Structure 1
Amino acid sequence: MSNIVIENENLRATINPLGAELVSLLKLDDHTEYMWDANPAFWGKTSPVLFPIVGGLKNDTYFYQGKEYKLPRHGFARTMNFEVESQTQNSVVFLLKNNPETEKVYPFAFELRLAYTLIANKLELKYQITNPDSKALLFSIGGHPAFKCPIENALNYEDYFLEFHENEDLKRWPLNSADLVLNEPLEISKNTNKLLLTKELFHQDALVFKHLKSDCVTLKSKKNLKQLKFEFKNFPYLGIWAAKDADFVCIEPWCGIADSADTNQNLKTKEGIISLESKGVFERGFSLEIS
């Protein structure tokens, strides 16, 4: 299926139905692109949706009701074709439902919708998960958008920083060699609202944060006025990541997290798992505002 394009007077967004993945966000007046170009030499994705897990499982394995199941890192939604449920000039809704393929690795019925809407200088993305079944639906969900950095080609990566809405005591939860979360955080900085970007910052994988005060972070530079404001309300975890020496930064709001190093692999008690009751609906969203 061809890419879907939505547009208003300020922005044009392009979404690939494979994974319902945002692949371009273009400011129309000056043709500035804000999304990473998915260069496969570094990382061939742009903004995958993470469902029904976020991060990796120990040995790619979980247990549910005594049975063993296998799921790859970040789940399967990012590699599946979504259908277009509805579309207007400035909005589109994608839908993925359980099917025989998903049921082999994930024994739940679900409806996952991603709704993209352009409003002025902002792109809003809403996740909606519906449980059509009579039993509880267990899942996690998260975003993984990668933003071009530097935004302006004349600048360098190190000219940019992330500005948090609140002052934070930034503590990262490190990952071991199997990408599992260790039990003790490492302090990055205290009582600050800025994280300076360097390529070396991500040489030891993602920065994983839990329960920040901020629900907004802005990618900006002192050398240029172009910036991207990222709002993510009610996401308990945040990842910041870039592939080694690549010209992008991911700002990743998560309702869910990778397995801990000492996990018992029981899906029901996994940290970050959401239990949605029968016929229930769960919604979360984030927005990108550019200037």
Structure 2
Amino acid sequence: SLRNARLLRESNYLRDNLGKLLDHANAPIVVIGKDRELRVVNRAFLALSNASREELLGRDFLQLLPETERGRILPVFIRALRGEPTSNFEVRIPRATGGHSRIVINTASILAADGEIEGVIAIGRDLTELRELEEQIIQAEKLATLGQLAAGVVHELNNPLTSISVYGEYLLRKGERAGYESADLEKLRRIVESADRILKFTRDLVTYARPSTEEPAFVRIRDILEQSLLFCEHVVGEVSADIDKRYGDEDGSVYAVKGQLHQVFINLITNACHALPVEGGRIILGTHVDDDDHLRVTIGDNGCGIPAPQREKIFEPFF
């Protein structure tokens, strides 16, 4: 009896230590019974799902998953109950606060004292950040390809646009000498101005899309803002936004990479357009030199603003 008591104490000691080891492991771990009920959920899994232990224990694990995942993971569970392990199976786990975590799991069967299978253990690895990074890289590659295609199309447009601009200018000068009617001269003048404007836009677009080898230089912020506004003209036009320019009297030059400033201002102006009300939308562009000789650039709007839960993510790529 003494020997049995000692064995029981050692067994309880090992069981408690194993429980602590599982609970404090860095990897998300769950133990599932034969009836699909969750028996053990460790801290790493709780952190991944943003749920409490009380919310999870005893529940059918399939009910915790999106419907699209249930049919995929059920065969994995059945194979484990037959003694067939599974490795590197990726699954999405919903978070209590919204969204999903993505983990890859390895499963194996758990044996009872009599050698019968009584459950399944699943040990996972969090891939959420890795998958998000992969998606960002794919998106960046798509944008780079799109920029190259746009630059190629623009290059093909430049030749006919140049011809329109040159011959339009020729006809305008000829009309002025020949005394054409003022209405006809105005039409020719608009043709020339429109062609020049499109030419300027296409050249700036090629510069913007080209991989940056640009060195920092002194640039005039007001000019950069105007060029960025030209890029966004179609977006501004779609929302019928009024542009309120409040440029300071100072020269407002800074030492910077022009292309990077273009990108920043274009993104801010585009975001402002997306946030504007249906009617009465206004975007404010302003520059001002502070007393400490710092140039302040302001891009504001009268839109709805950024929801508080999303503000901490605004500097994440492609958010």
TM-score bracket relative to the smaller structure: under 0.3
The structure carrying a bigger strand percent of its residues is 1
**Which of these two proteins has the greater Rg computed from alpha carbons?**
2
Kindly indicate whether structure 1 or structure 2 has the higher relative contact order, using CA contacts under 8 Å at least 6 residues apart: 1
The structure carrying a bigger helix percent of its residues is 2
So what's the TM-score if we normalise by structure 1? 0.22
So what's the TM-score if we normalise by structure 2? 0.21
